[in-house]
Structure 1
Amino acid sequence: MRLVLAELTKIRTTSTWWIFGLVMVPLWGLAVLYNWGTTSLTSDIPADAEVPPDQAELLAVVGSDINVATTHYTSGQFLGVLLVMLLGAILVTNEFHHQTATNTFLVTPHRERVVLAKLAAGVLLGLGFWLLTTVLNLLVVPFVLRSLDVPVQLGEPAVWRAIGLNALAYALWAILGVGAGVLIRSQIGATLTLSIGYLIGSIGGSVAFALLTQFVADFFAKLEVIVPTTASQLMVAGTDLPGNPPRWVGAAVLIGYALITGAIGTLIMRRRDIS
């Protein structure tokens, strides 16, 4: 526990955490506006519009009250988990940037304990950001839903399940960040690599699987869940979506990535020369 507190203190005594927090708020606001606008546009599609049957079924489910509600109550996840991942990486790269890694491992020779403390600190920071966006969503989203003529839905278990799984997503992305920070020691290098990889990977993965689904085979649509951002978005859906794997598959994929990244990071840190 003392090691975890020490890791949190390292972040608290720098400007990093509150800068990320200040950045998070406008990004969350943009996410709410995006979801609001997207829902408004899709609800305006005429019922007799010529849409392929499979897409019509998906649009109908996505546009259901419960899925509209869960989408809005988890607003901010896409860019929120990116910030959490970067913060997790900074927990590690800070040591090398400020040349404190040697002192850290002299004080605590068991390196795996240090890595576990960083993983725990990353999870706590991730949950802090989740709490921030969740409180904002609970305050603002009911007004957005009323403007869309959608019930507030706070009495629905599916909404609270989505909010809870959203917390899990934030925690798992923080673990991914810590693991990536071990692999990429440079703070600037890790920040740029993770940011570019996250955004390009998300967009590129969606485009690639869409093309494979259209020109090769339909089952590729279900394989898109291996893209981490797709997995984290799927797990917070209010219901299972037609043409997509069950929500638990998204959670399992993200947990798998976090476990692999955390394990690799721990092994590398144990063997790598720190000086």
Structure 2
Amino acid sequence: MSLARASRSEFTKQFTTSIWWILAIALVAYVAFTASVLALALSASATGALPGAGEGPQVSEEGLPALVYSAATSVGYVFPLLIGTLMVTTEFRHKTLTPTFLATPRRFTALFAKVVVGVLLGALYAVLAIASSVGPGAAFLAGFGLDAEITSTETWSLVGRMVIAFVLWVLVGIGVGTLVRNQVVAIVIVLVFTQFLEPVGRLLGAFVEGLSDFTAYLPGAASDALVGASVFTAGVGNGSAPTTLEWWAGGLTLLGYAAVFLVIGYFSSWRRDVT
């Protein structure tokens, strides 16, 4: 089977199941809620509208829109990571990989078809997440009399980098799913790492001298560097400023994770016999 036919088959396989839109609804709700809370709190602080705001330091208006809009990736990246992982592990769990390989004997073609469809899913999730953060975020900023910067080139550059980040996260997820066949184990690994291990490591890196030189290369930190804004790097209290990568280096680092996982998974797991 050619790559075009394999990709068409993979496209049908992904969009005739419910998991993609269930995760999409969760993504929209989670990002919209987070962006709304951030916009409300930060806008109120920046304008001095919070009770007792004059007693402490206020948030600067500079870069505030980017900080709010980037909630799409800073908190929403786990969803494209999960959908990429499920694209592969679901086949192992429901034993549909056998007919997939029978229809597409060239296993590299079968995997590359998942990558092609993964790029489309990443772009779709990016549009949904960005709309969910920019929409309510801009409304709250405007409501407090702040410039939402919707038409600025910086905002559109931010949007473009967020789309790239979402696509890369899906590819990382496909790599994880290829590497870890068991769906439950793969999901647990994804959630534990993204929701606990990396956040704790990055928090410690903000206060332990020299540690941020290493945590800057973690996937989430690389994604935030690629996007160029994140609530997790906006301020760290009285701790030392964490090391961050250039946007292009962050993108290459995240792409490197995807490539390494895909290559290792292909040779160690994808080519093995299936039953």
Whether these two folds match at TM > 0.5 is yes
Residue 192 of structure 1: how far off its partner (Å): 1.8
**Larger helix proportion, structure 1 or 2?**
1
1:103 to 99, 104, 116: 99
Kindly provide the CA deviation profile for residues 169-213 of structure 1, in whole angstroms up to 9, marking residues without a partner as x. 100110111111112212222112211121112222213313422
C-alpha distance in 2, partners of 1:96/1:22?
Answer: 25
Map of 1:237 onto structure 2: 228
Inter-partner Cα distance in structure 2 for 1:198 and 1:252: 19
The offset of 1:236, in angstroms, is: 1.8
Please, which of 179, 183, 200 is the counterpart of residue 204 of structure 1? 200
The question of 1:129 aligning with 2:132 is answered no
Which 10-residue stretch deviates more, 174-183 or 198-207? Answer: 198-207
Per the alignment, residue 34 of structure 2 pairs with: 31
Q: Cα deviation per residue 1:72-94 (whole Å; 9 max; x = unaligned)? A: 22333234221111111111111
Cα separation, partners in 2 of 1:146 and 1:41, compared to 1, 3 Å: closer
Residue 200 to residue 39, structure 1, CA distance change in 2 (3 Å): same
Distance apart, 1:227 and its partner CA:
1.7
- 5 Å-filtered alignment, 1:51-70, equals 63-65=60-62, 67-70=63-66
When the two structures are aligned, how many residues end up with a matched partner?
Answer: 259
Rounded to whole Å, the distance in 2 between the matches of 1:149 and 1:258 is 42
Let me know the Cα RMSD of the aligned residues: 2.7
Unaligned stretches of 5+ residues in structure 2: 235-240
Q: How far did residue 98 of structure 1 move?
A: 1.3
Distance in 1 between the 2:135 and 2:248 partners? 28
Tell me how far 1:46 sits from its aligned partner: 7.1
Could you tell me how far 1:155 is from its partner in structure 2? Answer: 2.7
Amino acid at match of 1:272: R
Question: Where does structure 1 lack aligned partners over 5 or more consecutive residues?
Answer: 51-58
> How many angstroms does 1:2 deviate by?
2.0
Of 75-84 and 167-176, more deviation after overlay is shown by 75-84
Determine the structure 2 residue equivalent to 1:249: 249
CA contact (8 A) 1:162 1:235 kept: no
Question: How far apart are the structure 2 equivalents of 1:173 and 1:40?
Answer: 30
Deviates more, 1:228-237 or 1:243-252: 243-252
Report percent identity of matched pairs. 26
1:122-161 CA deviation, whole Å, 9 max, x = no partner? 1211111111122334433321221343212123211111
CA distance 1:263–1:41, shift in 2 (3 Å): farther
Mapped partners of 1:100, 1:22: distance in 2: 26
Q: CA–CA distance in 1 between the matches of 2:229 and 2:27?
A: 24
Deviations 1:70-123 (A, max 9, x none): 122233323422111111111111111111111111221110111111112112
Change (3 A) 1:18 1:49: closer
Q: Classify 1:101/1:226 alpha carbon distance in 2 versus 1 (closer, same or farther; 3 Å).
A: same
Contact 1:180 1:265 in 2 (8 A): yes
Contact 2:85–2:174, Cα closer than 8 Å, also in 1: yes
The separation in 2 between residues aligned to 1:156 and 1:207, in whole angstroms, is 32
Which has the larger displacement, 158-167 or 204-213? Answer: 204-213
In 1, the alpha carbon distance for the partners of 2:137 and 2:40 equals 13
**Higher mean C-alpha displacement, 126-135 vs 159-168:** 126-135
Residue of structure 2 aligned with 1:21, choices 19, 24, 27? 24
Cα shift at 1:18? 1.5
User: Which one-letter code corresponds to 2:251 in the other structure?
Assistant: A
